[in-house]
């Protein structure tokens, strides 16, 4: 093989490795995004439940006072 062919093979291997690394990064960040979305949803549900509880407590307080 010639030096040019060796360089072409090296270039192709590096390109393939780079594409593989990019794919792994994409998969990693998609998982992080799913995890963050799940956590956000769970936090939102918890906050909504706490708000509802506070509203119910306030309603009970106003009924007892009145």
User: What integer pLDDT is reported at residue 65 of this predicted model?
Assistant: 67
In tens, the pLDDT along 5-64 reads 999 999 999 999 999 999 999 999 999 999 999 999 999 999 999 999 988 888 887 877
Measure the CA–CA gap between 45 and 22, rounded to whole angstroms: 35
Beta carbons within 8 Å of 9's beta carbon, 6+ residues apart: 1
Decide if pLDDT at 66 tops 80. Answer: no
């Amino acid at each position: 093989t010639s030096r040019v062919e060796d360089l072409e093979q090296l270039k192709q291997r590096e390109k393939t490795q780079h594409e593989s690394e990019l794919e792994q990064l994409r998969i990693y960040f998609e998982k992080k995004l799913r995890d963050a979305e799940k956590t956000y949803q769970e936090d939102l549900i918890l906050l909504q439940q706490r708000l509802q509880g506070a509203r119910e407590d306030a309603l009970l307080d106003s009924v007892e006072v009145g």
